[in-house]
Chains A and B, each alone.
Chain A
Amino acid sequence: MSDPTRATDEGGQATLRPYSDVEYVFEPHSASLPSVRAYLQDAWDRRHFVVAMAKADLRGPRSRTGLGELWAIADPLFQAGIYWFLISTIRSNGSDQTERLVILISGIFLFTFSSTVLSGGGRSIIRNKGLMLNSTFPRILLPATEVYKGLLDLGPYLAVYAVIHFLLGAPFGPGLFVLPLLVVLQILISSGLALIFATLTVFISDMSNLLDYVMRVLFFTTPILYPVTELPDLAVTLLKINPLFTLFACYQAVFTGELPNAGYLFQSVVWAVVLCLVGYRIFVSHERGFALRL
């Protein structure tokens, strides 16, 4: 219906300004996925939204507690304390207590980042139902907000851990130069998994409940409570199914003054690349269907 009556008075309206050349085309996603570049550019243009959203989310729960922001640090420390008690009760062979403690504390601090990103990111779509049903924006911003929230805590984690590392008298080896790469890999692996979980949670309503168990399984299959060197070969082969396994094996080497195993490092790189690509692809090809299912 192109109404001729409207076209004629177009010139007659004094207040009519030329429209901006923004153009949106909405089609079934099976017909066309947005180009990666355009999609990410669109997301990047709205990065301030991620910052504002993360601030709003974080301020709520923590500002009502006495320790406030300190809870972010206190929580992993308490956990480490509990696990240390358990480990030393179960096995008191006394050998290399420092090394075990280093592995435990660094592991818990670093794992907390992945855990925040995965459980927050996994629920990010269903939790923001109102926003999802009322506005249009690249949906990747919601899991991205959870990654950003995790990153805000990661800096302090590493700083506090550095102090603990020093106080324990643990070695500072050349492997520490690899640390930034490992952290980047962890961010990529966690983000990729978060995108996959965020999509699954929308399509499978049980996923939201399962997520806690998934996190627990990931925690125990990631080398945090035990040194990788003490594991039998078969266990190592099996545990490599966990994308965080080889990465945390590298962390262990770095924090105990050694260089990470090249094979483990390579596998972590592969995991990071694969999970990011797969996660992005799954998320973006389903995001327009999210609103129908909320």
Chain B
Amino acid sequence: MAATTLPAIEVEHLSTSYRVHVKGSSVLGGFSDLFKRGQATDRLVPAVRDVSFSVPQGTVLGIIGRNGAGKSTLLRCLAGILEPEQGRIVMRGRISTLLTIGVGMNQNLTGRENIRLGGLAMGLGHARLDEIIDQVADFAQLGEYVDFPVETYSSGMRSRLGFAVMAHLDPEILLIDEALAGGDSKYMSETAHKMAELCGSGRTIVLVSHSLSAIRTMSTEAIWMHQGQVVEQGDPDHVAASYMRYCRLSDAELLDDA
């Protein structure tokens, strides 16, 4: 049973940056980027800098930090969407992601068709999708709207659909970015219930959230990121407390400066 002891996620010295177009994009600049990968002419903004950690199976890892700390970028790297510039990521298990709500949806298609398209992109078969589509629609409480184009949906309906899809694809590793907000209070409590169910079933979950209470209740471990680096990791209560202390401190510093 050596395989089960391997961590679900291993991140080694991960660094990645965003390329920002400082003064428009030039045709020549684009061409030169094409040939010397990694050394773009545009400005590089480091988003994640030399981050290493590993996540054992069944862990719920909460990631906290201020805006722009690199949390979402890290999650996109884990999902395989962004290319690491340096370092290496190993993910052991089927991944499902819930990143920016609704963005991955094709507005002209109905909810049902979007669920199918998303599932097919993940590599699921039609038969499996037939099984889960009705469950997804039920959980998202879309009713007859499931056969309406997504462009007619309210933002709450979109986030419900996004969460429902992710939760029902039966992944082993879940990557969730600030996706638990939205929806009315009845739905929120159902989401929390479903999250608790997902968390307790041996899945490995990485959760980015600004809600410290959510991190405290759900996660078994936490990471605090600041300016692309891991400041502290460990017990969620500890990490959250340090983060809170830092936030109060930096607010006080700001007040002093003023």
Query: Once the chains bind, are A6 and B125 in contact (CB under 8 Å)?
Result: no
Check: A38 CB closer than 8 A to any chain B CB.
no
Counted as pairs of residues, one from A and one from B, with CB atoms less than 8 Å apart, the total is 177
Greatest chain B CB density within 10 A among A18, A28, A288 is at A28
Complex Cα distance, B7 from A293, in Å, reads 31
Query: Once the chains bind, are B106 and A56 in contact (CB under 8 Å)?
Result: yes
Query: Once the chains bind, are B103 and A133 in contact (CB under 8 Å)?
Result: yes
Query: Once the chains bind, are B89 and A203 in contact (CB under 8 Å)?
Result: no
Query: Once the chains bind, are A135 and B90 in contact (CB under 8 Å)?
Result: no
What interface size band does chain B fall in? Answer: 35 or more
Check: A65 CB closer than 8 A to any chain B CB.
no
Contacts of A60 in B (CB 8 A): 108
Complex Cα distance, B21 from A203, in Å, reads 11
Residues 1-56 of A at the B interface (beta carbon under 8 Å): 1-3, 6-7, 9-10, 13, 15-30, 42, 45-46, 48-49, 52-53, 56
Query: Once the chains bind, are B83 and A22 in contact (CB under 8 Å)?
Result: no
Check: B69 CB closer than 8 A to any chain A CB.
no
Query: Once the chains bind, are A135 and B104 in contact (CB under 8 Å)?
Result: yes
**Contacting residue for B121 out of A28, A49, A289, CB 8 A:** A49
Query: Once the chains bind, are B121 and A10 in contact (CB under 8 Å)?
Result: no
Contact with A along B48-68 (1 / 0, CB 8 A): 000001101111000000000
Query: Once the chains bind, are A30 and B84 in contact (CB under 8 Å)?
Result: no
Query: Once the chains bind, are B84 and A28 in contact (CB under 8 Å)?
Result: yes
Query: Once the chains bind, are B81 and A49 in contact (CB under 8 Å)?
Result: no
Query: Once the chains bind, are A26 and B91 in contact (CB under 8 Å)?
Result: yes
- Nearest B residue to A128, CB-CB: B106
- Nearest A residue to B17, CB-CB: A292
Contact with A along B198-238 (1 / 0, CB 8 A): 00111000000000000000001100000000000100000
Contacts of B7 in A (CB 8 A): 2
Check: A173 CB closer than 8 A to any chain B CB.
no
Complex Cα distance, B93 from A20, in Å, reads 6
Query: Once the chains bind, are B57 and A286 in contact (CB under 8 Å)?
Result: no
Contacts of B33 in A (CB 8 A): 203
Contacts of A42 in B (CB 8 A): 123
Check: A93 CB closer than 8 A to any chain B CB.
no
Query: Once the chains bind, are A289 and B83 in contact (CB under 8 Å)?
Result: yes
Query: Once the chains bind, are B56 and A18 in contact (CB under 8 Å)?
Result: no
Query: Once the chains bind, are A135 and B3 in contact (CB under 8 Å)?
Result: no
Min C-beta distance of B112 to chain A, whole Å: 11
Check: A204 CB closer than 8 A to any chain B CB.
yes
Check: B196 CB closer than 8 A to any chain A CB.
no
Query: Once the chains bind, are B8 and A135 in contact (CB under 8 Å)?
Result: no
**Contacting residue for A48 out of B76, B87, B120, B201, CB 8 A:** B120
**27 A–B contacts from the bound complex (CB under 8 Å):** A6-B56, A10-B58, A13-B200, A16-B57, A19-B8, A25-B88, A28-B83, A28-B85, A49-B120, A52-B113, A60-B108, A133-B99, A134-B81, A134-B97, A136-B80, A136-B95, A137-B121, A137-B122, A137-B123, A204-B34, A206-B25, A289-B83, A291-B76, A291-B82, A292-B18, A292-B83, A293-B19
Enumerate chain B interface residues (CB-CB to A < 8 A): 3-5, 7-8, 18-19, 25, 27, 30-31, 33-34, 37-38, 53-54, 56-59, 76-95, 97, 99-100, 103-106, 108-109, 113, 116-118, 120-123, 125-126, 172, 200-202, 220-221, 233
